[in-house]
Amino acid sequence: MKKPQKTKPDGQSETSAEPANKPANKKISKGQKTRQQLIEVAASLFQKQGFHATGIFDIAEAGNLPKGSIYYHFPGGKEEIGAAAVAFAGAQIAKALEEVAGKAKDPADLMTKAAALLGDILVESDFQGGCPVCLVALEVAGKVEPIRQSALEAYARWQAIIEKQLCLFGMEKKKAAAQAELAIAAIEGALILSQVQRSPAPLRRLARQLTLSLA
């Protein structure tokens, strides 16, 4: 009764914000650009500081973006930004993973390259930020369903990419699925070890060990 549909945005709300395939991007109405930038900066901050430690205005400040319009673009507040940020980060990594997978020569090479991909994130941030999906997901997995869903999709997509590529290498589907899940789990875990140890060594050693499990 109190909602005269003031032409608010929110677009198709939920998990959007993917740097994906949109061939006919006619016009990005300034505001939508701001929205996208907010998501990207948020993803970066969440990755380094986590969800709860990141103030909602820190996001705008860190990206020199209009603070006044945060709640205009994200009526759902912090949680909506969180869900969008996790979805974006997940899609970003998925994209990179697809590129890397295409270049891999064999299963072992794929494992190594995938591990190196996540490892680069760590080194680039000087071990300040790990997996952007993991941290936020664990912080609020029990309370904010949309964020949990975003994380769920991200992991599923990563796994599907690896699985598909393993199949292309001739591995049977069932084995490929199991190996892909092992790879995702092991890399995520090693990422944690590397971040805590502040050394890329665990991740590197794991990559090697992962290739040995391909027998």
Partner DNA sequence: CACCTTTTAGAACAGCCGATCTATTATGGG
Partner DNA sequence: CCCATAATAGATCGGCTGTTCTAAAAGGTG
Residues that bind a copy of itself (CB under 8 A): 48-50, 52-53, 127-130, 134-135, 137-142, 148, 151-152, 155, 178-179, 181-182, 184-190, 192-193, 195-197, 202, 205-206, 208-210, 212-213, 215
Give the angle 71-47-187 at the CA atoms, nearest 5°.
Answer: 140
Binding partner of residue 27 among a copy of itself, DNA, none, CB under 5 to 8 Å per kind?
A: DNA
CA 168 from centre of chain: 25
Q: Quick one: which segment of 76-84, 89-97, 138-146, 178-186 binds DNA (CB under 7 A)?
A: 76-84
Binding partner of residue 68 among DNA, a copy of itself, none, CB under 5 to 8 Å per kind?
A: DNA
Chain position carrying tokens 């980060």:
89
SS3 17: coil
Choice between 75 and 102, CB closer to DNA: 75
Contact between 25 and DNA by CB under 7 A: the answer reads: no
Binding partner of residue 135 among a copy of itself, DNA, none, CB under 5 to 8 Å per kind?
A: a copy of itself
Minimum distance from residue 128 beta carbon to a copy of itself (Å): 5
Binding partner of residue 6 among a copy of itself, DNA, none, CB under 5 to 8 Å per kind?
A: DNA
97 — phi, psi (to 5°)? -65, -40
SS3 16: coil
- How far is 198 from 192, CA to CA, in rounded Å? 10
Binding residues for DNA, how many (CB under 7 A)?
A: 27
Choice between 69 and 149, CB closer to DNA: 69
Minimum distance from residue 199 beta carbon to a copy of itself (Å): 11
Contact between 50 and DNA by CB under 7 A: the answer reads: no
- Residue 78: which residues within 8 A CB-CB, separation 6 or more? 51, 56
- Tokens, residue 30: 């300034």
Minimum distance from residue 87 beta carbon to DNA (Å): 18
87, amino acid identity: A
Alpha helices in the chain (DSSP H): 31-49, 56-62, 70-73, 77-103, 107-124, 132-140, 145-168, 173-197, 201-212
**Residues near DNA, by CB under 7 A:** 6-7, 9, 27, 29-32, 34, 52, 54-58, 60, 66-69, 71-73, 75, 77-79
